[in-house]
Amino acid sequence: MPYHSFEELEIWKRGCRMAVDLCRELASCPNFSLRDQMQRAAISIPSNIAEGAERDSVADFAKFLRYAKGSAGELRTQAYIAIRLDLMDRAKGEAFVQELRELGAMIQGLIFALTKSEN
């Protein structure tokens, strides 16, 4: 899996797009604590991918990818809650959930590829 920079990674690109879209979607959300937590989780996904990619070891990269995957799961849960509280449009919320499922699967695939190549 050769690459020169995390900016080349599709999971990083999609994570950034999703974070920007989510922050825009929640800009007027009146529930500050949920909005803040969701934005933090969204931003954490591409941030952890980038931080792990910049580390000097495959083990560290895999560890930070696991953090990113955990943040994706956290954000999926929060999206379900936001939908049920009518703080997020159902269709948009479901689209975020789907994107987060796909990101989680992509992250898991990269973890597998990294750890397989290490053995």
Enter the tokens of residue 41: 């989780």
CA distance 46 to 10: 10
User: What residue segments make up the domains of the chain, in order of their start?
Assistant: 6-118
Report the distance separating Cα 46 and Cα 23, nearest Å: 14
At residue 108, what is the residue type?
Answer: Q
CA atoms within 13 A on the CB side of 53: 21
pLDDT tens string 38-92: 999 999 999 999 999 999 899 999 999 999 999 999 999 999 999 999 999 999 9
Q: What percent of the chain has pLDDT over 70?
A: 96
- Could you tell me which CATH class the domain 6-118 is placed in? mainly alpha
* Whole-prediction pTM: 0.93
Intra-chain end-to-end CA distance of the chain, in Å: 14
User: Nearest to residue 115, comparing CAs of 49, 8, 107, 22?
Assistant: 107
